[in-house]
Amino acid sequence: MTRNDRGAAGGAGRARTRAPGARSRTARLRLLAGALVLALTLPAAAAHATTGIGAHGPVTEAYGWFPEWYEDGIYAPGTTPNLGMLVHTLEHGRIDLQYKPGTSPETVTRLEKLVDELDSGYHMLLFENGTNMPYAVAATAWGHLLGCPTMNDKVFDALRTFREAHIDKGPEVVP
């Protein structure tokens, strides 16, 4: 018995059905990016931090966070905000879009336009990642990561789909 047949494998539960040819959200994200894409559920963080935080990867809540947080918006390359304050935005239901240092100015401009296109950047931050993440572009939300190792035109659709799925779904939504 598969998960789609009876809820959880081997257990009782309501049947989950999809239209013929329909794909799960994760499968759509993988297809949209046209490359290896990670769409993960991440472990929750323990608590607010009050000291420095170090990390090597996309900014996620697994690193702890500070009591203060950043405003929604676009942050200029080379001005990567404080990691702990970025993580706190995820708790508030924000989507953090991140790109690798050295990303071309043309790509950064396209990402800025994408943020503007998505409800004028409502509950989103865009910034250059300063943690040596292994992705060209990543999006994070509370408990979720979309990592795109290479940049291509399909990444924009994957980012739109990720945002739609995870915006305002942190444990503490703050307007």
Q: Measured between alpha carbons, how far is residue 80 from residues 18, 77, 100, 126 in Å?
A: 42, 7, 11, 10
Per residue of the chain (175 residues), give pLDDT as tens: 332 333 333 333 334 443 444 445 554 444 444 433 444 444 444 444 433 434 445 555 554 555 677 889 999 988 876 777 888 888 889 999 999 999 999 999 999 999 999 999 999 999 999 888 999 999 999 888 999 999 999 999 999 999 999 999 988 877 7
First to last CA, the chain: 43
pLDDT at position 158 is: 93
Q: What is the pTM of this model?
A: 0.68
Q: How many CB atoms lie within 10 A of CB 54?
A: 7
β pairing state of 124-128 and 95-99: parallel
